[in-house]
Amino acid sequence: DAGVIQSPRHEVTEMGQEVTLRCKPISGHNSLFWYRQTMMRGLELLIYFNNNVPIDDSGMPEDRFSAKMPNASFSTLKIQPSEPRDSAVYFCASGEAGPSEKLFFGSGTQLSVL
């Protein structure tokens, strides 16, 4: 298996632009997580899906952030409009839902908003 695949690896954009991050989870995994990592705040959970349904989006910082999972093999995280404080590494992770769930992370997207 190729693991969790994220694209793009790097994104540089200007403030106010729309940014779309993409994720393909591991086949057969039924949960998907979006995390954001910064030096100051560490790894923060933004939203997670179970069987393509958003379960908890309390970590989404504000209405500028939205996430979708139209099918079991694809998810997007969109920021519109982007701001410099959104600069971070965004990770997607997938797993098999359950209390002993182990997550597998993608390589991340390094986002820089100028």
From candidates 20, 87, 97, 112, binder to another protein by CB under 8 A: 97
CA-to-CA distance for 37 and 17, rounded, in angstroms? 21
Q: Taking contact as CB under 8 A, which single stretch among the options 15-23, 37-45, 62-70, 73-81 is the one that binds another protein?
A: 37-45
Per rule CB under 8 A, is residue 65 in the interface with another protein?
no
> What's the N-to-C CA distance of the chain in angstroms?
36
DSSP SS3 for 93: strand
From candidates 31, 75, 82, 94, binder to another protein by CB under 8 A: 31
Please enumerate in sequence order all residues whose Cβ is within 8 A of that of 29, keeping only pairs 6 or more positions apart, or say none.
94, 95, 96, 104
Q: Taking contact as CB under 8 A, which single stretch among the options 12-20, 65-73, 76-84, 93-101 is the one that binds another protein?
A: 93-101
* Encoded amino acid at 71, one letter: N
Q: Which two tokens stand for residue 45?
A: 């959970």
Please report, as ranges, the residues that interact with another protein according to CB under 8 A.
Answer: 31, 33, 35, 41-43, 45, 48, 50, 55-56, 91, 97-108
